[in-house]
Amino acid sequence: KIDLTLWPNPANETIHIKTTENNTHENAVIQVYAVDGKQVMHYEVSGYSETIAVPVEALSNGIYLLSFRKGAQIASKLFFVER
């Protein structure tokens, strides 16, 4: 199981992700979805360590779902963008 921690929430310019699944040898995929289900961001990360920073300054104010996938494991969390 992957446990995610996101901060700050609400976010302004960047959201930070901390996961229990730290592995610098495996790739991970981060996807962000708007409340209507539309994918608004897609990041592939490799060689990550404890914390991953994802820029969200291009997103409008609102509620989003962040999905973190590594291999067959997926974890999701809601976050807010507020300026």
At residue 22, the pLDDT reads 58
Q: pLDDT tens across 6-54, in order?
A: 999 999 999 999 987 656 567 889 999 999 999 999 999 887 777 899 9
Read off the pTM: 0.90
| Cα–Cα dist 4/19, whole Å | 5
Look at residues 20, 30, 10 and name the one whose alpha carbon lies nearest to residue 82. 10
At residue 25, the pLDDT reads 63
Question: What are the residues whose beta carbons fall under 8 Å from the beta carbon of 49, sequence distance 6 or more?
Answer: 22, 24
Residue of 25 and 1 predicted with greater confidence: 1
